Structure 1
Amino acid sequence: MTWADFWALTATLNGKATRANCQRLAEELSRRSVPDIIGFAERHAEALHRLDQEKFGTLPVVDLTARYGSPFPQSADVFLYTRCAVVAAGQAVWESVFFDPAKFAPYTSSEYDGERFLYVPGMAYELATGEEWDRPTRYCVESFSNRDGWPQPQD
Protein backbone atom coordinates (compact mmCIF):
# COMPACT_ATOMS: atom_id res chain seq x y z
CA MET A 1 0.00 0.00 0.00
CA THR A 2 1.33 3.41 -0.90
CA TRP A 3 1.52 6.27 1.56
CA ALA A 4 -1.06 8.11 -0.55
CA ASP A 5 -3.48 5.17 -0.19
CA PHE A 6 -2.81 4.96 3.55
CA TRP A 7 -3.49 8.65 4.07
CA ALA A 8 -6.59 8.57 1.87
CA LEU A 9 -8.03 5.76 3.99
CA THR A 10 -7.00 7.48 7.21
CA ALA A 11 -8.81 10.63 6.04
CA THR A 12 -12.10 8.74 6.44
CA LEU A 13 -11.61 9.22 10.21
CA ASN A 14 -12.34 12.93 9.73
CA GLY A 15 -9.46 13.74 12.08
CA LYS A 16 -10.60 11.77 15.12
CA ALA A 17 -10.32 8.14 16.17
CA THR A 18 -13.85 7.79 17.53
CA ARG A 19 -15.48 4.37 17.83
CA ALA A 20 -17.75 5.04 14.84
CA ASN A 21 -14.96 6.46 12.67
CA CYS A 22 -12.62 3.55 13.40
CA GLN A 23 -15.37 1.01 12.78
CA ARG A 24 -16.18 2.68 9.45
CA LEU A 25 -12.49 2.67 8.45
CA ALA A 26 -12.09 -1.00 9.45
CA GLU A 27 -15.16 -1.93 7.40
CA GLU A 28 -13.91 0.01 4.37
CA LEU A 29 -10.45 -1.52 4.68
CA SER A 30 -11.94 -5.03 5.10
CA ARG A 31 -13.48 -4.76 1.62
CA ARG A 32 -9.98 -4.59 0.14
CA SER A 33 -7.60 -7.47 -0.44
CA VAL A 34 -5.72 -9.09 2.43
CA PRO A 35 -2.42 -7.75 1.01
CA ASP A 36 -3.93 -4.24 1.16
CA ILE A 37 -4.94 -4.77 4.78
CA ILE A 38 -1.44 -5.96 5.59
CA GLY A 39 -0.01 -3.00 3.69
CA PHE A 40 -2.21 -0.63 5.69
CA ALA A 41 -1.00 -2.26 8.91
CA GLU A 42 2.62 -1.77 7.85
CA ARG A 43 2.12 1.93 7.04
CA HIS A 44 0.12 2.38 10.26
CA ALA A 45 2.94 0.86 12.32
CA GLU A 46 5.60 2.88 10.52
CA ALA A 47 3.71 6.16 11.00
CA LEU A 48 3.39 5.45 14.74
CA HIS A 49 7.02 4.31 15.01
CA ARG A 50 8.31 7.50 13.38
CA LEU A 51 6.50 9.55 16.04
CA ASP A 52 8.15 7.54 18.81
CA GLN A 53 10.68 10.23 19.67
CA GLU A 54 11.86 11.88 22.84
CA LYS A 55 10.80 15.34 21.64
CA PHE A 56 7.19 14.12 21.63
CA GLY A 57 7.23 11.58 24.45
CA THR A 58 8.57 14.00 27.04
CA LEU A 59 5.82 16.56 26.45
CA PRO A 60 3.40 16.71 29.40
CA VAL A 61 -0.29 15.87 29.18
CA VAL A 62 -1.94 19.21 28.47
CA ASP A 63 -5.06 18.94 30.61
CA LEU A 64 -3.54 17.34 33.72
CA THR A 65 -1.17 18.49 36.42
CA ALA A 66 0.68 16.47 39.01
CA ARG A 67 0.96 17.29 42.68
CA TYR A 68 1.65 20.96 43.37
CA GLY A 69 0.80 21.90 39.80
CA SER A 70 3.82 20.38 38.12
CA PRO A 71 3.41 19.01 34.57
CA PHE A 72 1.93 15.52 34.31
CA PRO A 73 4.13 13.24 32.17
CA GLN A 74 2.76 10.94 29.50
CA SER A 75 2.84 7.26 30.41
CA ALA A 76 3.95 4.75 27.77
CA ASP A 77 0.30 3.97 26.99
CA VAL A 78 -0.76 7.62 26.84
CA PHE A 79 2.17 8.33 24.51
CA LEU A 80 1.12 5.45 22.23
CA TYR A 81 -2.51 6.59 22.13
CA THR A 82 -1.41 10.18 21.54
CA ARG A 83 0.68 9.06 18.58
CA CYS A 84 -2.40 7.24 17.29
CA ALA A 85 -4.43 10.45 17.64
CA VAL A 86 -1.82 12.39 15.65
CA VAL A 87 -1.84 9.84 12.83
CA ALA A 88 -5.64 9.70 12.90
CA ALA A 89 -5.68 13.50 12.54
CA GLY A 90 -4.27 13.03 9.06
CA GLN A 91 -1.23 13.50 6.91
CA ALA A 92 -0.98 17.28 7.28
CA VAL A 93 -0.99 17.11 11.09
CA TRP A 94 1.38 14.12 11.16
CA GLU A 95 3.88 15.89 8.92
CA SER A 96 3.58 19.22 10.76
CA VAL A 97 4.57 17.87 14.16
CA PHE A 98 8.02 16.88 12.89
CA PHE A 99 8.73 20.54 12.11
CA ASP A 100 7.07 21.91 15.25
CA PRO A 101 6.79 19.53 18.24
CA ALA A 102 4.47 22.03 19.95
CA LYS A 103 1.81 20.94 17.42
CA PHE A 104 1.98 17.44 18.97
CA ALA A 105 1.14 18.72 22.47
CA PRO A 106 -2.64 19.28 22.05
CA TYR A 107 -3.07 15.61 21.11
CA THR A 108 -1.96 14.56 24.62
CA SER A 109 -5.38 15.75 25.80
CA SER A 110 -8.00 13.09 26.59
CA GLU A 111 -10.13 14.85 23.96
CA TYR A 112 -7.94 13.21 21.30
CA ASP A 113 -7.66 9.65 22.64
CA GLY A 114 -6.49 7.63 19.65
CA GLU A 115 -6.49 4.16 21.22
CA ARG A 116 -9.22 2.81 18.94
CA PHE A 117 -7.14 3.63 15.87
CA LEU A 118 -4.49 1.22 17.13
CA TYR A 119 -6.86 -1.70 16.51
CA VAL A 120 -8.14 -0.79 13.03
CA PRO A 121 -5.80 -3.11 11.06
CA GLY A 122 -6.72 -6.10 13.24
CA MET A 123 -10.43 -5.32 13.06
CA ALA A 124 -10.27 -5.04 9.27
CA TYR A 125 -8.35 -8.30 8.96
CA GLU A 126 -10.83 -10.12 11.19
CA LEU A 127 -13.80 -8.72 9.24
CA ALA A 128 -12.19 -9.80 5.96
CA THR A 129 -10.98 -13.25 6.96
CA GLY A 130 -12.89 -14.28 10.06
CA GLU A 131 -9.52 -14.87 11.73
CA GLU A 132 -7.67 -12.91 14.39
CA TRP A 133 -4.72 -10.75 13.39
CA ASP A 134 -1.60 -12.51 14.64
CA ARG A 135 1.23 -11.18 12.54
CA PRO A 136 3.90 -8.71 13.56
CA THR A 137 4.62 -5.61 11.53
CA ARG A 138 8.06 -4.51 10.47
CA TYR A 139 7.97 -1.57 12.89
CA CYS A 140 7.17 -1.89 16.57
CA VAL A 141 4.56 0.63 17.73
CA GLU A 142 5.29 0.33 21.45
CA SER A 143 6.51 3.50 23.13
CA PHE A 144 10.28 3.91 23.39
CA SER A 145 10.97 1.23 20.75
CA ASN A 146 12.36 3.65 18.16
CA ARG A 147 16.05 3.63 19.06
CA ASP A 148 16.72 6.52 16.69
CA GLY A 149 14.13 8.64 18.47
CA TRP A 150 15.43 8.06 21.98
CA PRO A 151 19.15 8.75 22.51
CA GLN A 152 19.00 7.27 26.02
CA PRO A 153 17.23 3.95 26.83
CA GLN A 154 13.90 4.42 28.64
CA ASP A 155 12.64 2.40 31.60
Structure 2
Amino acid sequence: MVELRAGCERDRICPEGDLWAAQCDDARRPARFAERLHESLYQIDRRELAEVSVTLANGVQLPQTSDHFLYARCACILAGEEVYDEVLNSGVGFDRFVAPFVPLALLLVLPASCSYYIANYNNRLPTPLDGTWDVTAGAFQPEGLPGPVERVYFEHNRAYQVVLRSEHTWRRHHFEVDPAASTITIWRTWLSKGEQLLSGRYVLTGDRLAITATDTTSGRPLLWELRKRATSEIGSSEN
Protein backbone atom coordinates (compact mmCIF):
# COMPACT_ATOMS: atom_id res chain seq x y z
CA MET A 1 0.00 0.00 0.00
CA VAL A 2 2.82 2.37 0.89
CA GLU A 3 4.63 1.58 -2.36
CA LEU A 4 1.47 2.19 -4.38
CA ARG A 5 0.51 5.49 -2.77
CA ALA A 6 4.04 6.88 -2.74
CA GLY A 7 4.19 6.33 -6.51
CA CYS A 8 7.01 3.80 -6.34
CA GLU A 9 7.35 0.50 -8.10
CA ARG A 10 7.95 -2.56 -5.96
CA ASP A 11 11.63 -2.79 -6.86
CA ARG A 12 12.42 0.91 -6.52
CA ILE A 13 13.54 2.81 -3.45
CA CYS A 14 10.83 4.95 -1.90
CA PRO A 15 12.28 7.61 0.46
CA GLU A 16 8.92 8.47 1.98
CA GLY A 17 8.05 4.83 2.53
CA ASP A 18 11.47 4.21 4.05
CA LEU A 19 11.00 7.15 6.40
CA TRP A 20 7.61 5.85 7.51
CA ALA A 21 8.97 2.35 8.02
CA ALA A 22 11.87 3.69 10.05
CA GLN A 23 9.49 5.64 12.25
CA CYS A 24 7.28 2.61 12.81
CA ASP A 25 10.30 0.44 13.60
CA ASP A 26 11.41 2.83 16.32
CA ALA A 27 10.00 0.76 19.14
CA ARG A 28 11.51 2.93 21.83
CA ARG A 29 9.50 5.99 20.80
CA PRO A 30 6.21 5.95 22.75
CA ALA A 31 3.20 6.58 20.52
CA ARG A 32 -0.46 5.75 20.51
CA PHE A 33 -1.82 3.46 17.85
CA ALA A 34 -3.76 6.42 16.39
CA GLU A 35 -0.56 8.43 16.00
CA ARG A 36 1.23 5.63 14.16
CA LEU A 37 -1.77 4.99 11.95
CA HIS A 38 -2.03 8.69 11.15
CA GLU A 39 1.64 8.71 10.13
CA SER A 40 1.21 5.83 7.73
CA LEU A 41 -2.05 7.11 6.25
CA TYR A 42 -0.52 10.55 5.73
CA GLN A 43 2.11 8.89 3.53
CA ILE A 44 -0.51 6.87 1.66
CA ASP A 45 -3.12 9.60 1.14
CA ARG A 46 -2.89 12.60 -1.12
CA ARG A 47 -1.15 15.30 0.89
CA GLU A 48 -3.90 17.86 0.42
CA LEU A 49 -6.25 15.65 2.44
CA ALA A 50 -4.15 16.16 5.55
CA GLU A 51 -6.22 19.19 6.51
CA VAL A 52 -9.66 18.03 5.35
CA SER A 53 -12.44 18.94 7.77
CA VAL A 54 -15.10 16.25 8.10
CA THR A 55 -18.54 16.99 9.52
CA LEU A 56 -20.69 14.11 10.72
CA ALA A 57 -24.42 13.88 10.03
CA ASN A 58 -25.15 15.25 13.51
CA GLY A 59 -23.05 18.35 12.79
CA VAL A 60 -20.09 17.34 14.93
CA GLN A 61 -16.64 18.10 13.52
CA LEU A 62 -14.44 15.02 13.30
CA PRO A 63 -10.76 15.77 14.03
CA GLN A 64 -8.08 14.21 11.84
CA THR A 65 -6.62 12.46 14.87
CA SER A 66 -9.94 10.93 15.89
CA ASP A 67 -9.89 7.14 15.85
CA HIS A 68 -13.18 7.19 13.90
CA PHE A 69 -11.59 9.37 11.23
CA LEU A 70 -8.49 7.19 10.96
CA TYR A 71 -10.44 3.95 10.66
CA ALA A 72 -12.70 5.53 8.05
CA ARG A 73 -9.61 6.31 5.98
CA CYS A 74 -8.53 2.69 6.42
CA ALA A 75 -11.92 1.58 5.17
CA CYS A 76 -11.47 3.74 2.05
CA ILE A 77 -8.14 2.10 1.32
CA LEU A 78 -9.35 -1.44 1.96
CA ALA A 79 -12.36 -0.88 -0.30
CA GLY A 80 -10.01 -0.96 -3.29
CA GLU A 81 -8.35 1.27 -5.86
CA GLU A 82 -11.50 2.43 -7.64
CA VAL A 83 -13.40 3.36 -4.50
CA TYR A 84 -10.30 4.92 -2.97
CA ASP A 85 -9.74 7.20 -5.95
CA GLU A 86 -13.40 8.19 -6.12
CA VAL A 87 -13.78 8.92 -2.42
CA LEU A 88 -10.42 10.58 -1.89
CA ASN A 89 -10.50 12.64 -5.08
CA SER A 90 -11.52 15.65 -3.02
CA GLY A 91 -12.31 16.72 0.49
CA VAL A 92 -16.01 16.92 -0.41
CA GLY A 93 -16.08 13.33 -1.64
CA PHE A 94 -14.28 12.16 1.46
CA ASP A 95 -16.69 14.07 3.70
CA ARG A 96 -19.68 12.42 1.99
CA PHE A 97 -18.15 8.97 2.44
CA VAL A 98 -17.02 9.35 6.04
CA ALA A 99 -19.96 11.15 7.65
CA PRO A 100 -22.64 8.43 7.19
CA PHE A 101 -20.35 5.41 7.39
CA VAL A 102 -17.99 6.12 10.28
CA PRO A 103 -19.65 3.55 12.59
CA LEU A 104 -19.50 0.87 9.85
CA ALA A 105 -15.90 1.71 9.01
CA LEU A 106 -15.01 1.49 12.68
CA LEU A 107 -16.64 -1.92 13.05
CA LEU A 108 -14.97 -3.31 9.93
CA VAL A 109 -11.48 -1.94 10.37
CA LEU A 110 -10.92 -1.60 14.11
CA PRO A 111 -10.46 -5.30 14.98
CA ALA A 112 -8.15 -5.99 12.03
CA SER A 113 -6.16 -2.79 12.48
CA CYS A 114 -5.63 -3.28 16.20
CA SER A 115 -4.71 -6.95 15.76
CA TYR A 116 -2.21 -6.09 13.01
CA TYR A 117 -0.69 -3.30 15.07
CA ILE A 118 -0.32 -5.37 18.21
CA ALA A 119 1.13 -8.35 16.36
CA ASN A 120 3.54 -6.38 14.18
CA TYR A 121 4.52 -3.25 16.11
CA ASN A 122 3.53 -3.52 19.74
CA ASN A 123 5.63 -6.67 20.21
CA ARG A 124 8.86 -4.95 19.13
CA LEU A 125 9.98 -4.24 22.68
CA PRO A 126 12.50 -7.00 23.27
CA THR A 127 13.52 -8.11 26.74
CA PRO A 128 16.35 -10.44 27.77
CA LEU A 129 13.76 -13.04 28.79
CA ASP A 130 11.91 -13.35 25.47
CA GLY A 131 11.25 -16.96 24.53
CA THR A 132 9.71 -20.19 25.77
CA TRP A 133 10.84 -21.59 29.11
CA ASP A 134 10.26 -24.86 30.98
CA VAL A 135 9.98 -24.67 34.75
CA THR A 136 12.57 -26.95 36.36
CA ALA A 137 12.11 -25.95 40.01
CA GLY A 138 9.73 -23.91 42.10
CA ALA A 139 5.94 -23.91 42.38
CA PHE A 140 4.11 -20.80 41.20
CA GLN A 141 0.37 -21.22 40.74
CA PRO A 142 -1.67 -18.07 40.10
CA GLU A 143 -5.44 -18.29 40.36
CA GLY A 144 -7.03 -19.92 37.31
CA LEU A 145 -4.41 -22.60 36.74
CA PRO A 146 -5.09 -26.25 37.70
CA GLY A 147 -1.56 -26.69 39.05
CA PRO A 148 1.87 -25.04 39.27
CA VAL A 149 3.16 -23.33 36.13
CA GLU A 150 4.98 -25.79 33.87
CA ARG A 151 5.87 -23.58 30.93
CA VAL A 152 6.33 -19.83 30.49
CA TYR A 153 6.11 -17.82 27.26
CA PHE A 154 7.65 -14.36 27.62
CA GLU A 155 6.54 -11.90 24.91
CA HIS A 156 4.87 -14.64 22.91
CA ASN A 157 3.99 -12.34 19.95
CA ARG A 158 2.84 -9.53 22.23
CA ALA A 159 4.83 -6.86 24.07
CA TYR A 160 4.60 -7.05 27.87
CA GLN A 161 2.75 -10.35 27.62
CA VAL A 162 3.70 -13.49 29.51
CA VAL A 163 1.66 -16.66 29.10
CA LEU A 164 1.72 -19.21 31.91
CA ARG A 165 0.81 -22.81 31.13
CA SER A 166 -0.23 -25.61 33.46
CA GLU A 167 -1.34 -28.90 31.92
CA HIS A 168 -3.69 -27.83 29.11
CA THR A 169 -4.58 -24.44 30.57
CA TRP A 170 -2.97 -21.16 29.53
CA ARG A 171 -3.29 -17.81 31.29
CA ARG A 172 -2.13 -14.50 29.83
CA HIS A 173 -0.62 -11.87 32.12
CA HIS A 174 1.34 -8.61 32.01
CA PHE A 175 5.05 -8.55 32.82
CA GLU A 176 7.78 -5.96 32.88
CA VAL A 177 11.51 -6.30 33.44
CA ASP A 178 14.24 -3.80 34.21
CA PRO A 179 17.43 -5.26 32.69
CA ALA A 180 19.61 -2.69 34.44
CA ALA A 181 18.32 -3.71 37.87
CA SER A 182 17.52 -7.33 36.90
CA THR A 183 14.00 -7.02 38.31
CA ILE A 184 10.78 -8.62 37.11
CA THR A 185 7.14 -8.02 37.97
CA ILE A 186 4.08 -9.95 36.78
CA TRP A 187 0.52 -8.61 37.00
CA ARG A 188 -2.76 -10.41 36.46
CA THR A 189 -4.08 -8.55 33.41
CA TRP A 190 -2.12 -7.91 30.23
CA LEU A 191 -1.63 -4.16 29.54
CA SER A 192 -3.99 -2.93 32.28
CA LYS A 193 -1.96 -4.81 34.94
CA GLY A 194 -4.43 -5.07 37.82
CA GLU A 195 -3.41 -7.28 40.76
CA GLN A 196 0.31 -7.93 41.17
CA LEU A 197 1.18 -11.63 41.15
CA LEU A 198 4.96 -11.74 41.44
CA SER A 199 7.77 -9.31 42.12
CA GLY A 200 11.48 -9.97 42.46
CA ARG A 201 14.86 -10.26 40.81
CA TYR A 202 16.22 -12.56 38.14
CA VAL A 203 19.57 -14.00 37.13
CA LEU A 204 19.96 -15.01 33.49
CA THR A 205 22.82 -17.35 32.60
CA GLY A 206 22.71 -18.67 29.05
CA ASP A 207 19.58 -20.80 28.75
CA ARG A 208 19.01 -20.84 32.52
CA LEU A 209 16.83 -18.35 34.38
CA ALA A 210 16.55 -18.09 38.15
CA ILE A 211 13.89 -15.82 39.65
CA THR A 212 13.98 -14.98 43.35
CA ALA A 213 10.70 -13.30 44.13
CA THR A 214 7.66 -12.99 46.31
CA ASP A 215 4.38 -14.60 45.32
CA THR A 216 2.42 -11.46 46.15
CA THR A 217 -0.96 -13.23 46.21
CA SER A 218 0.16 -15.52 49.04
CA GLY A 219 3.07 -13.53 50.45
CA ARG A 220 5.33 -16.56 50.22
CA PRO A 221 8.91 -16.39 48.90
CA LEU A 222 9.54 -18.11 45.59
CA LEU A 223 12.66 -19.50 43.93
CA TRP A 224 11.69 -20.20 40.34
CA GLU A 225 14.13 -21.92 38.00
CA LEU A 226 13.54 -22.20 34.26
CA ARG A 227 15.31 -23.59 31.21
CA LYS A 228 14.88 -21.98 27.80
CA ARG A 229 13.56 -24.26 25.08
CA ALA A 230 15.56 -24.40 21.86
CA THR A 231 13.84 -23.49 18.59
CA SER A 232 13.96 -27.13 17.50
CA GLU A 233 12.16 -28.18 20.69
CA ILE A 234 9.44 -25.59 20.20
CA GLY A 235 8.82 -26.68 16.64
CA SER A 236 8.79 -30.40 17.37
CA SER A 237 6.69 -30.47 20.50
CA GLU A 238 4.50 -28.25 22.63
CA ASN A 239 3.39 -31.06 24.92
Q: Using structure 2 for the length normalisation, give the TM-score.
A: 0.28
More contact order relative to length (CA 8 Å, sep ≥ 6): 1
Task: Report the structure number with the largest CA radius of gyration.
Answer: 2
Q: Which has the higher strand share?
A: 2
Q: Which has the higher helix share?
A: 1
Q: Using structure 1 for the length normalisation, give the TM-score.
A: 0.40
